[in-house]
Amino acid sequence: MLRTVTISVIIGTFLIGSYYVVASSFVQPEQQNKLGVALSDIQPDLTYEKFIALSEDQKSFLVQNMPSSTRNLILDEARDNPSFAAESKDLITEQSGATELRMIKLTQVSGIKGYDADGTASVFVSDGMTFLRLQDFGVASGIDQRLYLTKDGTIQTGIDIGPLKASQGDQNYDITSVDHDAYNVLIIYSRPFDLYYAYAKFIKTE
């Protein structure tokens, strides 16, 4: 009798565990299916991959005319697919052709409006060139996230540094042509979705 009960408990535990494993494996496909249906309602044969491949202007037009539920599904999919970078400081000296590298500014990266972000943003100079470096960096993954150096956090009057290389990891950006004393507020922003993800305000270290 005891042996029968023990076997029943083992089988029951196995079945419960199997249920949760199988159920969890269907969560993401279900989300992807909802997204696929929502996108095809906007434009026949439109998939997430095709949406990502569109220009920023094309994305902006579609986002402005889509239901908020579809917009949120797209953002959820982007958030669940982070990208990674691992650029060392040595790449800065390689690009500048110098051996000396000096940090002149350092600050913390913070999230905006409920988005998580962390790590540090620093400014390095090397043989007449200036670089922005993000280190131990992480931000909620989004679509067409770009870096801006601004005077007061205003994108419209800021300087577009270029696309964010990755949502996670160390990365370098050449900002030699930017007056980083005047444009000292870094913003990570997505134009198609008009979303601000993170900011960093630089302070001098010397």
Give the pLDDT confidence of 149-178 residue by residue, as tens digits: 999 999 999 999 999 999 999 999 999 999
Contact 104, 180 (CB under 8 A): no
| 113 vs 51: CA distance, rounded Å | 25
Identify whether the C-beta of residue 163 lies closer than 8 Å to the C-beta of residue 52.
Answer: no
Domain ranges of the chain: 2-79, 84-201
What does the pLDDT read at residue 9?
45
Strand 129-139 to 117-126 pairing: antiparallel
Record the pTM: 0.83
% the chain with pLDDT above 70: 83
The residue behind tokens 């800021």 is: 158
Instruction: Report the distance separating Cα 7 and Cα 26, nearest Å.
Output: 29
Beta strands in the chain (DSSP E): 84-86, 102-108, 110-111, 117-126, 129-139, 145-150, 159-163, 168-174, 185-190, 195-201
- Give residue 24's pLDDT: 43
Domain 84-201 has CATH 1.10.3470: no
Angle, in degrees to the nearest 10, between helices 27-42 and 68-79? 140
Tokens of 47: 């998939």
Q: Which of 83-87, 98-102, 121-125, 140-144 has the lowest mean pLDDT?
A: 98-102
pLDDT at 27: 46
Mean pLDDT for the chain? 88
pLDDT for position 203: 79
